[in-house]
Amino acid sequence: MDYNWDWLILFKQSVTGEGLYGVMLLKGLGWTLVISLASWIVALALGIALGVGRTLPNRWVRWPVTVYVHVFRNTPLLVQLFLWYFVVPELLPPAWGDAIKQMDSTLEQLLAVLLCLTLYTAAKAAEQVRTGIESVAAGQRQAGTALGLSTLGLYKHVLLPQALRIVIPPLTSDFMNVFKNSAVALTIGLMELTGMSREISEFSAHPFEAFTAATLAYMLITLAVVWLMRTIEVRTRVPGLLGA
Amino acid sequence: MIKRWLLASFIALLLASCGMDAPQPGTTPRQISTLDKIRQTGTITLGTRHASIPFNYLDDHQQQAGFSWEISQRVVEAVKQELELPDLAVKTMTVTPQTRIPLVANQTLDLECSSTTHNLERRAQVSFSNTFFIVGVRLLVRKDSGIQDWPDVAGKRVIVSGGTTAARLLRKLNSDRNWDIDILTAKDINENFMMVETGRAVASVQDDIILHSNIARAREPQAWEVVGTPLQREAYACMLRKGDVAFKQLVDGVIAGMMQSGEMERLYTKYFQSRIAVKGGINIKQPLSDDMRELFQRPNDDVL
């Protein structure tokens, strides 16, 4: 390979007159963190609620939640984002659609990405929570009911404290995936980490350096997630449970 | 544990890059010439594009076509003659604007002719042939928008394709003049036009010939026009391996020969002034510009 390496490219001025390439990359990193963390926090809360919903005895709750989970989990994320950003405003009454399109462009992109990523991630988290609840031995549910606990009490005191501990490791993967999935934002023009490294690679003609920098940034983020989730897992561990 | 692993990967990466970076003294260059490679493998690999209309695209019959595609076919003929390889196999590989430069630099592709601008940054990684097309960056607007020239888009929302030279020029203009243009970034040419068609942006900034081809493909072509003085002229050229003088000479010769024999002008008429098989048949209807006429008279590989 005959490639002209220049690892200092990130410390050079951008040809667009917008500052250093490295600063552009950091801006992209900032967007990735904002999008991912905001989506994850909401998606986790929503996912727990929906996961519980899928295991409730009442089928008027269970059915709609099941449909939601399947729709959002079984369609490509990219397609979902295109629907939210390009199609939904066209389906709304023209006045609403125009109002959305005249919003601040970055805000509009941000909202579309947050909505898309949150709903998608929540559907996945809901499945983890459901399997966590279902993995608690059936006898415990029956015992709880026999003790006279209401459904609320049963979930609060018996099922969820165990289920949520069980699902910490699989939720770690979902948490990491949010960061990686957030790269879809570039397809509607929100320049997060991957989008920015693409721009830098085009402007500077140093694609390998730009993408290496982005790769390292993603690795640092996911390693931080692993560390955080490990810490939570250890802190919340109950002796005698789950091999602890 | 994690720390040690991170450190190790860092070191590995650095070592790998140093290994690739520093040419070993006393050894022959790691790069073999394109013609040698073609002779040894009996294959030439061309980079192709799906939808760079009318330069290189898949037509309605899913066949490769386009102005630049035909140029690369002439190059293949010339290579066959030069190497006396009548059975030369032609391999194609679809590229995107993001992948084309790395794929030429890492020697996966032997030649890429589509709509690639020849500029100085890119010359650090690849070499460029003689110019075969000259464009200017301009504005596509709705006829009733009232936008006539660049100052009219100040404070308005404009769409540009990410990573293109048009994006760079527009951003430079915006930061130099403080026009407060709200610059939206599109992923590709089609999405770019969709953004103005759906009213998200008032203008699309791109190479003028691509804007004309977008208008030809629009639902109501009469509603759109291309305005504004060209921001900067740009030269389209074929990409090949950096510093491969012999192969560049061959490609340059083919392009110059086509210009001198009048073949290039016929090719221009075929793709820019007649119906082409895209979306059931479109006609871009663009007269040959003065820049192009001059280029045909004096073939060169200048960066504009």
Q: What pLDDT score was predicted for residue B9?
A: 61
Give whichever of A38-52, A198-212, B18-32, B175-189 has the largest mean pLDDT.
A38-52
Query: In terms of domains, do B151 and B226 share one?
Result: yes
- Domain stops at, among B233, B256, B277: B233
Instruction: Give tens-digit pLDDT for A197-210.
Output: 998 988 888 989 99
**B28 within a domain of the structure (yes/no):** no
Query: In terms of domains, do B84 and B214 share one?
Result: no
Check pLDDT > 90 for residue A239: no
Query: In terms of domains, do B202 and B261 share one?
Result: no
Q: Give how far A15 is from chain B: nearest CA, Å.
A: 7
Residue in chain A closest to B102 (alpha carbons) equals: A207
Q: What pLDDT score was predicted for residue B30?
A: 55
Query: In terms of domains, do B95 and B140 share one?
Result: no
Query: In terms of domains, do B59 and B174 share one?
Result: no
Q: Do B200 and A7 touch (CB under 8 A)?
A: no
Query: In terms of domains, do B179 and B125 share one?
Result: no
Query: In terms of domains, do B56 and B83 share one?
Result: yes
Query: In terms of domains, do B110 and B45 share one?
Result: yes
Check pLDDT > 80 for residue B19: no
The domain tally of chain B equals 2
Does the pTM surpass 0.80? The reply is: yes
Domains of chain A, by residue range, sit at 31-193
Of the residues B200, B232, B239, B248, the best mutation for testing chain A's interface (the one with the most A CB atoms within 10 Å of its CB) is: B200
Q: What pLDDT score was predicted for residue B21?
A: 46
The reply to whether CATH 1.10.3720.10 applies to domain A31-193 is yes
**B14 within a domain of the structure (yes/no):** no
**B276 within a domain of the structure (yes/no):** yes
Q: Is B33 touching A (CB cutoff 8 A)? A: no
**CATH code at position B242:** 3.40.190.10
Q: What residues of chain A lie within 8 A of the CB of B186, using their CB? A: 189
Check pLDDT > 50 for residue A148: yes
Q: What pLDDT score was predicted for residue B198?
A: 86
Mean pLDDT of all residues in B229-243: 93
Instruction: Give tens-digit pLDDT for A123-133.
Output: 999 999 999 99
Q: What residues of chain B lie within 8 A of the CB of A3, using their CB? A: 20, 105-106, 125
**B241 within a domain of the structure (yes/no):** yes
Count the alpha carbons within 13 Å of A203 in the hemisphere toward its beta carbon: 32
Domain with B166 in it: 135-233
Query: In terms of domains, do B125 and B187 share one?
Result: no
Instruction: Give tens-digit pLDDT for A110-122.
Output: 999 999 999 999 9
Query: In terms of domains, do B88 and B104 share one?
Result: yes
d(CA B231, CA A170): 53
Enter the ipTM: 0.73
**B27 within a domain of the structure (yes/no):** no
Query: In terms of domains, do B39 and B124 share one?
Result: yes
Instruction: Give tens-digit pLDDT for B212-229.
Output: 999 999 989 999 999 999
Mean pLDDT of all residues in A120-149: 94
Q: Do A208 and B102 touch (CB under 8 A)?
A: yes
Of the residues A88, A110, A202, the best mutation for testing chain B's interface (the one with the most B CB atoms within 10 Å of its CB) is: A202
